[in-house]
Amino acid sequence: MQLTVLLFASIAEAAGARRIELPVEPGDTVAVVRDRLIERYPQLSRFLPTLLYALDEEYVREDQPVQPGATLALIPPVSGG
């Protein structure tokens, strides 16, 4: 079963992709999926301290369970002016 991960801004640039499909298992959380993504793209680990997460367009914490078919967005901090 799969989960879609959306990457934005500097995270997408570092990974070289804006959308990634990852496997998801029963009981996986946002943190488990994130760690699976870091295994595949270790250059993303530098973003971990400041990441925000949205699951199916709602902000969530790392301990939120994920379901197959869901969409997880990894959002770096943004600044505006």
Q: Name the average pLDDT for the chain.
A: 93
Amino acid letter for position 36: R
Which phi and psi angles does 53 have, rounded to 5°?
A: -125, 140
Q: What is the pLDDT of residue 80?
A: 57
Sketch the domain layout of the chain as residue ranges. 2-75
What is the 8-class DSSP label of residue 17? -
pLDDT tens, position by position, 45-67: 999 999 999 999 999 999 999 99
From the list 65, 72, 63, 76, the residue with the least C-alpha distance to 21 is 72
pTM, two decimal places: 0.90
Find out whether 77 and 11 touch, Cβ atoms under 8 Å. no
pLDDT at 79 over 80: no
Q: Which CATH fold would you assign to the domain 2-75?
A: Ubiquitin-like (UB roll) (3.10.20)
The model's pLDDT over 23-38, given as tens digits with 9 standing for 90+, comes to 999 999 999 999 999 9
Which residues neighbour 80 within 8 Å (Cβ) at sequence distance 6 or greater? Answer: none
